[in-house]
Structure 1
């Protein structure tokens, strides 16, 4: 096992927790612009997670 990729996955988990709290705070605001920004950031968060996890898993299996 390559510890640097496991560290990246662990740091991604920690960053996800902080990012998700920010996204939910934006979505709960009454402003339409805040909700749209929150949904857009959630989509970016999902995309970044997918790319990072696929990259790390490909390197761990190699």
Structure 2
């Protein structure tokens, strides 16, 4: 079996599995919609995460630059 045939068979199986998953109906009725959740506040942990990401990125760039020289 060539790679092209394997890709075609894999694509067909993927499409068929997608149809099976989409056609299944839930067995119970969904609960009635409630009130929407309140907006989530952006707290200090987001700022700490951004600071950590910046520190990590700068550190990786400096280490990569040091390894290339």
- Give the TM-score, by structure 2 length: 0.39
- Give the TM-score, by structure 1 length: 0.43
User: In terms of Rg, which structure is larger?
Assistant: 2
Which structure is higher in RCO with an 8 Å CA cutoff and minimum separation 6?
Answer: 1
